[in-house]
């Protein structure tokens, strides 16, 4: 496997903005009226009023259950979800199985309502062992402390941008709440810091008069690509792909994981339709950072560790049309 270090001409627009920041939580619970079926639910705090103009940027959920059980019948209810990884009996917890499920696209769209649960996905557990599943605790579970024995990246994460508020709202995962449906999600978790933060702004609302778009850093960033042949920086930063892209009609041709990521991003293609074509990397406000000829590779690994933290787009294009567009979060 050849490893090529190539350059992408990266123009990062960083804005210093006062964001409305709020917490969003996850829980696991039995799905009422079903046999041996469990659901993953999300819930914002009662003092948060999300608008209809939310975008779920990234997400991952790691479920833990006893060795001897197997997860099956994964069904997406809000957003599209897929199993990313499964680690059975790691050294840190030899009696447990860890399954990480990743967010793919916001379709069907995840609707967030104040202090109201939303079922993201459900699954069944089958096997001879007894016991109930649980959500991983990012801060206390020994297998979640990196690096771990399986070189895996388990953990819970959910990041949502709300462009319908002024200023823009950022909802982020901060913890799990109790399985009892009468329990409140917000009293058990320390509210996040709501001070002014630096972040990369992509896809700002139509009215951008309140956003400072001063260019902070225009340095060239080196990005390592594995199993690739060509990466070219864009010749014209005003370039746009021909054809109109409708995210509601896109087919899932590839998935990205892990997201969020600190350094490496894996692009796994799922269909034979993706032979050849071009991958393009963009900031969320549409500035192209580089392009890659996909070729015959089914899995690509991109080193994005030197990109500024923030949300980015990765698009797959063929014959001048965008076939899929996904966001990922660089922490």
Domain of residue 216 covers 3-15+211-330
103 φ, ψ (degrees, to nearest 5): -75, 130
Could you tell me if 184 and 241 lie in one domain? no
Q: b vs e for 151-172, b when ≥16 Cβ sit within 10 Å of the residue's Cβ?
A: ebbbbbbbbbbbeebeebbbbb
Could you tell me if 85 and 111 lie in one domain? yes
Q: Please report whether residue 200 resides in a domain.
A: no
Q: Please report whether residue 79 resides in a domain.
A: yes
Question: With the C-alpha atoms ordered 181, 182, 183, 186, is the resulting torsion angle positive or negative?
Answer: positive
> What's the number of domains the chain is made of?
2
Could you tell me if 295 and 235 lie in one domain? yes
Burial of 202 (0-12, 13-18, 19+ CB in 10 A): buried
Could you tell me if 163 and 49 lie in one domain? yes
Confidence at residue 249, expressed as pLDDT on a 0 to 100 scale: 58
Nearest-angstrom CA–CA distance, 237 and 68: 54
Confidence at residue 273, expressed as pLDDT on a 0 to 100 scale: 72
Could you tell me if 286 and 312 lie in one domain? yes
Give the list of residues 6+ apart from residue 85 with CB closer than 8 angstroms, or none: 98, 99, 100, 152, 153, 154, 257
Residue 110 is classified by DSSP as P
Per-residue pLDDT tens, the chain, 331 aa: give them. Answer: 222 222 333 322 223 333 455 688 999 999 998 888 999 999 887 777 888 888 888 889 999 999 999 999 999 999 999 998 999 999 999 999 999 999 988 888 999 887 789 999 999 999 989 899 999 999 999 999 988 999 888 999 998 888 787 777 778 888 998 754 444 446 544 444 433 334 333 343 344 334 343 433 434 434 433 343 333 344 333 333 334 445 555 678 888 888 888 888 888 888 777 778 888 888 876 778 887 888 778 888 888 888 888 888 888 888 878 888 888 888 7
Could you tell me if 78 and 120 lie in one domain? yes
Contact 89, 95 (CB under 8 A): yes
Q: What is the CATH number of the domain that holds 306?
A: 2.60.40
Nearest-angstrom CA–CA distance, 149 and 31: 33
Contact 298, 255 (CB under 8 A): no
Could you tell me if 187 and 54 lie in one domain? yes
Confidence at residue 250, expressed as pLDDT on a 0 to 100 scale: 67
Could you tell me if 157 and 10 lie in one domain? no
Confidence at residue 88, expressed as pLDDT on a 0 to 100 scale: 95
Could you tell me if 26 and 155 lie in one domain? yes
Could you tell me if 11 and 31 lie in one domain? no
Contact 143, 90 (CB under 8 A): yes
Could you tell me if 147 and 37 lie in one domain? yes
Among the candidates 195, 230, 247, a domain finishes at: 195
Cα 232 vs. chain centroid, distance in angstroms? 26
Contact 307, 226 (CB under 8 A): no
Residue where the block lists tokens 């823009």: 168
Residue 192 is classified by DSSP as P
Give the list of residues 6+ apart from residue 277 with CB closer than 8 angstroms, or none: 294, 316, 317, 318, 323
pTM for this predicted structure:
0.56
Q: What Rg do the C-alpha atoms of the chain give, in angstroms?
A: 20
């Amino acid at each position: 496997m050849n490893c090529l270090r190539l350059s992408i001409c990266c123009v990062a627009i960083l804005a210093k903005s006062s964001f409305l920041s709020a917490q969003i939580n996850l829980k696991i619970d039995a799905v009422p009226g079903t046999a041996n079926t469990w659901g993953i639910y999300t819930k914002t705090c009662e003092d948060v009023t999300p608008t209809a103009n939310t975008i779920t940027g990234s997400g991952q959920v790691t479920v833990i259950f006893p060795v001897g059980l197997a997860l099956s019948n994964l069904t997406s209810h809000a957003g599209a979800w897929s199993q990313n990884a499964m680690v059975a009996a790691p050294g840190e917890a030899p009696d447990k199985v860890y399954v990480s499920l990743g967010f793919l696209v916001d379709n069907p769209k995840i609707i967030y309502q104040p202090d109201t649960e939303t079922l993201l996905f459900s699954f069944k557990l089958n096997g001879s062992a007894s016991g109930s599943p649980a959500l991983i605790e990012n801060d206390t579970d020994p297998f979640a402390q990196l690096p771990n024995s399986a070189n895996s990246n388990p953990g819970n994460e959910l990041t949502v941008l709300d462009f319908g508020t002024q200023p823009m709202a950022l909802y982020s995962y901060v913890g799990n709440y109790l399985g009892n449906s009468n329990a409140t999600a917000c009293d058990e978790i320390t509210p996040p810091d709501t001070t002014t933060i630096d972040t990369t702004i992509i896809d700002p609302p139509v009215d951008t008069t309140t956003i400072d778009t001063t260019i902070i850093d225009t340095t060239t960033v080196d990005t390592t690509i594995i199993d690739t042949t060509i990466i070219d920086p864009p010749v014209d930063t005003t370039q746009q792909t021909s054809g109109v892209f409708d995210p509601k009609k896109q087919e899932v041709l590839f998935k990205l994981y892990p997201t969020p990521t600190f350094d490496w991003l894996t692009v796994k293609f799922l269909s034979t339709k993706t032979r050849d074509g071009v991958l393009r990397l963009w900031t969320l406000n549409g500035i192209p950072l580089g392009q890659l000829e996909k070729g015959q590779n089914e899995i690509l690994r991109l080193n994005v560790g030197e990109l500024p933290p923030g949300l980015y787009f990765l698009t797959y294009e063929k014959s001048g049309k965008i076939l899929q567009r996904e966001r990922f979060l660089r922490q």
